[in-house]
């Protein structure tokens, strides 16, 4: 069969090449064109569907003598199954893993850490904070303008320009009593 004076296998091949090029472009520019819509309209899923549909249609058209409507049906079925597997087993776990490893600096406020580089009264040191995804080391200054020694437990009071403002955890306990 021909559509627009082109054989179907040529149309499948053009679709495969076009979706492959768009997939590569999307990989490079995905951060610029961020998608915030429903999952079923995700460009990755749509491009994967078109790529798999075109590839299976081209192969079935080229290698078999099945009627074109049956080839379209089989290609759609193959594409739906593979895209579903792609979404369930790769895309959803990756999106959940990415979110679990990310933290905002405001989330560090109120956390307890340990000084790994002594903090002078009016200078910078370094604090290590333990988290579920690992350790976070950040520059720190003394909130109370008193020196804090290595190994001291500290409380993160505030964050300014990426620098933690901390107070000795023992001092906080005495204030509460």
Q: What is the pTM of this model?
A: 0.56
State the angle between helix axes of 8-29 and 43-63 in degrees (0 to 180), rounded to the nearest 10: 150
Domain spans in the chain, listed from the N-terminal domain onward? 2-101, 105-176
- Residue 163 is encoded by which pair of tokens? 């620098």
The strand pair at 112-117 and 153-160 is best described as antiparallel
Distance of CA 16 to the CA centre of its chain: 27
111-151 pLDDT, tens digit per residue, is: 899 999 999 988 999 999 987 778 889 999 999 889 999 98
Q: What is the CATH number of domain 105-176?
A: 2.40.50.140
Q: Is 155 exposed, middle or buried (0-12, 13-18, 19+ CB in 10 A)?
A: buried
Q: Which DSSP state fits 34?
A: -
86-102 pLDDT, tens digit per residue, is: 988 888 787 766 555 56
């Amino acid at each position: 069969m021909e559509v627009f004076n082109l054989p179907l296998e040529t149309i499948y091949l053009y679709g495969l090449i076009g979706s492959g090029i768009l997939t590569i472009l999307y990989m490079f520019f995905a951060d610029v064109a961020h998608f915030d819509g429903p999952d079923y309209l995700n460009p990755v899923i749509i491009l994967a569907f078109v790529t798999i549909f075109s590839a299976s249609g081209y192969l079935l058209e080229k290698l078999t003598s099945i009627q074109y409507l049956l080839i379209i049906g089989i290609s759609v079925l193959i594409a739906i199954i593979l895209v579903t597997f792609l979404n369930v087993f790769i895309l959803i776990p990756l999106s959940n893993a990415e979110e679990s490893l990310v933290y905002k600096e405001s989330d560090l406020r109120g956390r307890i850490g340990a000084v790994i580089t002594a903090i002078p009264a009016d200078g910078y040191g370094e604090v290590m904070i333990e988290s579920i995804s690992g350790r976070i080391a950040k520059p720190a200054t003394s909130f109370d303008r008193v020196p804090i020694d290595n190994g001291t437990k500290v409380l993160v009071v505030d964050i300014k320009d990426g620098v933690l403002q901390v107070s000795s955890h023992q001092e906080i306990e005495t204030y509460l009593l």
